[in-house]
């Protein structure tokens, strides 16, 4: 398990999606796991439904939407969107991280990003 995941699972819950009447209302929350205290909340700026689970590596959190957008968030104490990357096709599967690369499968392609 990566150091980021160890830190996140030990101290806070990465995400809590709030599906309030449709995809435009998806909100991400970060809470301290032990107390439930809110660290931050906000929107990622990528519309759509999210069927995949968030993954973390290199102090970044990756979440992929059904519409094919991979949002990269900073793993810090505030909501900071580092990137939004639109890929061709829907993303229904959870991205995988192996040996410093992130693999994202869309309906037609398998992408690999990293060193």
Domain map (residue ranges) of the chain: 3-114
Beta strands in 1-115 (DSSP E): 12-13, 28-32, 38-42, 55-57, 60-64, 69-74, 81-86, 96-98, 101-105, 110-114
pLDDT tens-digit map of 2-38: 444 444 444 444 444 444 334 455 677 777 766 777 8
pLDDT tens-digit map of 37-94: 788 888 888 877 888 888 888 888 888 889 999 999 888 888 899 999 999 999 999 9
User: Looking at domain 3-114, does it have CATH number 2.40.128.630?
Assistant: yes
71 and 81 Cβ atoms separated by less than 8 Å = yes
pLDDT in the model for residue 63: 87
Provide the sign of the torsion angle of the four alpha carbons 75, 80, 86, 89, taken in this order: positive
């Amino acid at each position: 398990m990566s150091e980021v995941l160890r830190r996140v699972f030990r101290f806070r819950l990465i995400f809590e999606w709030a599906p309030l009447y449709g995809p435009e209302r998806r909100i991400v929350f970060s809470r301290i796991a032990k107390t439930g205290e809110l660290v931050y909340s906000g929107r990622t700026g990528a519309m759509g439904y999210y069927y995949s689970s968030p993954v973390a590596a290199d102090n970044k959190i990756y979440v992929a939407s059904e519409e094919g957008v991979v949002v990269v968030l900073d793993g810090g104490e505030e909501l900071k969107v580092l990137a939004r990357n639109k890929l061709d096709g829907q993303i229904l599967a959870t991205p995988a991280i192996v040996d410093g690369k992130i693999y994202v499968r869309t309906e037609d392609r398998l992408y690999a990003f990293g060193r």
